[in-house]
Amino acid sequence: MKNRIRVLRAEKDMTQEQLAELIGVHPEYDYFHGERKYCPSIKLGFRIANVFGVGIDDVFTYEEEIDGPSHDDE
């Protein structure tokens, strides 16, 4: 899952420490380091989206894994 957290933080001139404080996590949490594939809990995803005043789909983009069929395909 890709995210736009870095872009959204830059638009608000917000540090990762400030965002972490607002959503109640440690600033070194994985999703703060760019557009890595990261799958947060739905609750945390909504907290992040709410901080920026956007929908969750404006923060996170789901991409299918290319590693092979998932269990859902069986």
Query: What is the pTM for the complete model shown?
Result: 0.72
Higher pLDDT, 73 or 53: 53
Q: 38-74: b or e for each residue (b if 16 or more CB lie within 10 Å)?
A: bebeeeebebbbebbeeeeeebbeeeeeeeeeeeeee
pLDDT, tens digit (0-9, with 9 covering 90-100), for 14-71 = 998 899 899 988 777 655 555 555 677 899 999 999 999 999 999 998 877 665 555 5
pLDDT of 67: 58
* Predicted local distance difference test score (pLDDT) of residue 64: 74
**Amino acid 14: pLDDT:** 95
What pLDDT score was predicted for residue 33?
52
